[in-house]
């Protein structure tokens, strides 16, 4: 009986160990599986964190403005690019000082008969040519409405002056009556203009916008001629193309100095030309100070 009990006990032990081994194997497998699940969870969480930390690509925009303040530096150490301000438009170039000389008559229009001085058209042209040379010697640019014996309408004379944007317009005439030099400005009522060069003005009365300046220019001629002891008569009249000229304008009519000094007197002519040249030099300084 004891021998049988030992045999049964011995036979029962392997079953107990096998059960224990099976129990241990099941428990270890569960632990291993649980560890694997936890590991997968950790890996998934880590991947999710890396995914959420990854920067999102934003398409560039031409209207985007840098957020870095002007004058500071970015994290890379380089100065940030800023939007450049709109450049200021340059001012227009200054208008050149230009004198327009208009010898009266010409071509089929002879003008007044001046005795030994010939027709007015020839006298005024010769006077204008000499005055142009004197102005050029002092660095003053001038333009003649005609430099030959050609017929020229009044509107064409005014158009030449207005297209040239003259700083002073001098209309040259001559007469055998009276004495000294006669100065004429337009009789149109002066009209104040902030800048007549940029305003639309009627053709027949455009000189009204330059009435005040024309009177100042006439005053310079009067002073220069008086210093040469030449009698001066200043008046106002309606005269074409004077009224259609968009510039300070004065009509100058030369008469004999006296009964003994005709228009052909060389010394008298020289004094007149020097006076006109002196006045236009003074006017150039005044003109540059005007707005």
Q: Give me the pLDDT at residue 36, please.
A: 53
Tokens 């040249």 found at: 277
Residue pair 251/169 in contact (Cβ under 8 Å)? The answer is no
SS3 letters across 204-264: HHHHHHHHHHHHHHHHHHHHHHHHCCCCEEEEEECCCCHHHCCCCEEEEEECCCECCECCC
Confidence at 190, pLDDT banded by 50, 70, 90: confident
Euclidean distance between the first and the last CA atom of the chain, given in angstroms as a whole number: 143
Q: Give me the pLDDT at residue 100, please.
A: 98
Q: Give me the pLDDT at residue 287, please.
A: 86
| More reliable by pLDDT, 177 or 34 | 177
| N residues, the chain | 291
Percent of the chain beyond pLDDT 70? Answer: 64
Give the mean model confidence (pLDDT) for residues 80-90: 44
Half-sphere exposure of 28 (CA within 13 A, CB side): 6
Q: Give me the pLDDT at residue 196, please.
A: 63
Q: Is 133 left (phi over 0), alpha (psi -120 to 50) or beta?
A: alpha
pLDDT of 89 strictly over 50: no
Residue pair 149/79 in contact (Cβ under 8 Å)? The answer is no
| More reliable by pLDDT, 226 or 50 | 226
Confidence at 156, pLDDT banded by 50, 70, 90: very high
Q: Give me the pLDDT at residue 9, please.
A: 47
Q: Give me the pLDDT at residue 4, please.
A: 42
Give the mean model confidence (pLDDT) for residues 10-35: 46
Residue pair 33/25 in contact (Cβ under 8 Å)? The answer is no
Give the mean model confidence (pLDDT) for residues 79-95: 46
Residue closest to 251 by CA, chosen among 180, 190, 168: 168
pLDDT of 118 strictly over 70: yes
| More reliable by pLDDT, 23 or 255 | 255
Cα–Cα dist 5/156, whole Å: 151
Q: Give me the pLDDT at residue 68, please.
A: 41
pLDDT of 26 strictly over 50: no
Cα–Cα dist 57/63, whole Å: 17
- Tokens encoding 57: 């690509």
- Mind listing the domains of the chain with CATH numbers? 98-289 (3.40.630.40)
Cα 189 to Cα 211, 212, 251, distances in angstroms: 7, 10, 17
pLDDT of 221 strictly over 80: yes
Inter-helix orientation angle 211-227/266-289, to 10°: 140
pLDDT per residue over 253-285, tens digit each? 999 999 999 999 999 999 999 999 999 999 999
Mean pLDDT, the chain, whole residue set: 77
pLDDT of 74 strictly over 90: no
Residue pair 150/109 in contact (Cβ under 8 Å)? The answer is no
pLDDT of 105 strictly over 60: yes
**Sheet of strand 249-254, all strands in order from the earlier edge strand to the far edge:** 141-144, 98-103, 168-174, 249-254, 181-186, 232-237
Q: Give me the pLDDT at residue 58, please.
A: 35
Q: Give me the pLDDT at residue 67, please.
A: 42
Please provide the DSSP assignment of 123-142 as one string: HHHHHHHHHHHHHHHTT-EE
């Amino acid at each position: 009986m004891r021998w049988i009990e030992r045999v049964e006990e011995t036979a029962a032990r392997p079953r107990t160990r096998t059960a224990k081994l099976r129990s241990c194997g099941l428990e270890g497998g569960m632990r291993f599986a649980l560890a694997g699940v936890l590991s997968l969870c950790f890996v998934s969480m880590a991947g999710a964190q890396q995914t959420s930390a990854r920067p999102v690509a934003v398409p560039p925009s031409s209207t985007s403005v840098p957020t870095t303040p002007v004058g500071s530096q970015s994290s890379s150490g380089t100065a940030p690019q800023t939007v450049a301000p709109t450049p200021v438009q340059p001012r227009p170039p200054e208008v050149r000082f230009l004198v327009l000389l208009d010898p009266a008559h010409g071509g089929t229009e002879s003008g007044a008969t001046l005795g030994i001085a010939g027709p007015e058209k020839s006298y005024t042209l010769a006077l204008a040519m000499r005055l142009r040379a004197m102005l050029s010697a002092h660095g003053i640019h001038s333009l003649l409405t005609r430099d030959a014996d050609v017929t020229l309408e009044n509107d064409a004379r005014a158009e030449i002056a207005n297209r040239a944007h003259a700083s002073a317009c001098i209309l040259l005439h001559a007469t055998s009556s009276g004495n000294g030099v006669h100065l004429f400005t337009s009789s149109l009522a002066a009209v104040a203009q902030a800048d007549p060069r940029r305003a639309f003005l009627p053709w027949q009365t455009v000189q009204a916008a330059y009435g005040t300046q024309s009177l100042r220019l006439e005053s310079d001629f009067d002073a220069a001629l008086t210093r040469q002891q030449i009698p001066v008569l200043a008046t106002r009249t309606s005269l074409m193309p004077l009224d259609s000229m968009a510039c300070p304008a004065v009509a100058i009519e030369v008469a004999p100095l006296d009964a003994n000094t005709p228009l052909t007197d060389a010394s008298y002519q020289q004094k007149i030309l020097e006076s006109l040249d002196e006045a236009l030099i003074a006017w150039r300084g005044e003109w540059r100070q005007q707005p």
